[in-house]
Amino acid sequence: MNPEINALNRDTIVDFIGSIFDRRGGEEYLGEPVTMGEHMLQGATIAEQNGQSEEIIVAALLHDIGHFTSEFGTFTMGDTEDRHHEDAGAEVLERFFPKVITDCCRYHVAAKRYLCATRPEYFKRLSEASIHSLNLQGGAMSPDEVAAFEKNPNLETIIAVRYLDEAGKRPDMETPDYWHFAPMVQRQVDRHSKVNA
Ligand SMILES: [Fe+2]
């Protein structure tokens, strides 16, 4: 990691993530009718409109931050294979956010594979691009994988965020920008740093 990124702390991380949304949120979300920034903002906005918890709102907002991990210096030219964006994102988030939020990021791809195995009606929600990536990601989970996944104490929250992931792909939705959510993001960072103080 470069030194500037290493120097990020609880007082600077929220603005830093905001600058990523501002500078790079307009990038294409491959195969979807929304940009990366719109996708994450839509999930967070839908969660807020549904009255879901602040940790779910923040998790939806940040779940795909791994698409921007070059910003955090975790990508290097020495990488010999693709880094899974969910792991790369969780690696960044775990320094600053409660485990439940990190887990929603780390397991959002696994959650798709889990829901395809356990809730047949879920598959209908998937976009074409998401079905395509599902196949690359290993398809629906096996019964053993399902049993192991259900041991995660944050299962319910992880699934809630996965549904928001599917929901946040609307070509025509108005959302507030990142800065509307920034105070919530800060509260989650503060909560984490208190626990780890
Ligand atoms: Fe997503």
Rounded CA separation 139/117 (Å): 9
Two structure tokens written together for 108: 């959002």
Q: Domain extents for the chain?
A: 3-189
- The band of 175, judged by pLDDT with boundaries at 50, 70 and 90, is very high
What are the residues whose beta carbons fall under 8 Å from the beta carbon of 13, sequence distance 6 or more?
A: 96, 189
Bridge partners of 28, per DSSP, are 35
Residue by residue, DSSP assigns 59-78 as: HHHHTTGGGGGGGGT---TT
User: 62-116: per-residue pLDDT in tens?
Assistant: 999 988 877 877 666 666 666 688 888 888 899 999 999 999 999 999 999 999 9
Three-state secondary structure call for residue 19: helix
pLDDT of residue 72: 77
Rounded CA separation 67/63 (Å): 9
- The band of 194, judged by pLDDT with boundaries at 50, 70 and 90, is confident
User: 22-61: per-residue pLDDT in tens?
Assistant: 999 998 887 889 999 999 999 999 999 999 999 999 999 9
CA of 66 to the centre of ligand 1 (A): 10
CA of 71 to the centre of ligand 1 (A): 18
Rounded CA separation 100/183 (Å): 18
pLDDT of residue 80: 63
Q: What is the CATH number of domain 3-189?
A: 1.10.3210.10
Rounded CA separation 71/157 (Å): 27
pLDDT at 14 over 60: yes
- Which has the closest alpha carbon to 107: 148, 135, 52, 50? 148
CA of 99 to the centre of ligand 1 (A): 18
CA of 197 to the centre of ligand 1 (A): 31
Rounded CA separation 197/185 (Å): 18
Written as one letter, the residue type at 117 is A
- Global pTM reads 0.91
Rounded CA separation 93/77 (Å): 22
- The band of 3, judged by pLDDT with boundaries at 50, 70 and 90, is low
**What does the buried/exposed string (b/e) look like for 103-118 if buried means 16 or more CB atoms within 10 Å of the residue's CB?**
bbbbbbbbbbbbbbbe
CA of 5 to the centre of ligand 1 (A): 24
CA of 27 to the centre of ligand 1 (A): 13
User: 122-151: per-residue pLDDT in tens?
Assistant: 998 899 988 888 888 899 999 999 999 999
Strands (E), 21-153: none
Question: For the chain, what is the mean pLDDT?
Answer: 90
pLDDT at 155 over 70: yes
pLDDT of residue 69: 77
**Residues 173-196: what's their mean pLDDT?**
95
pLDDT of residue 38: 96
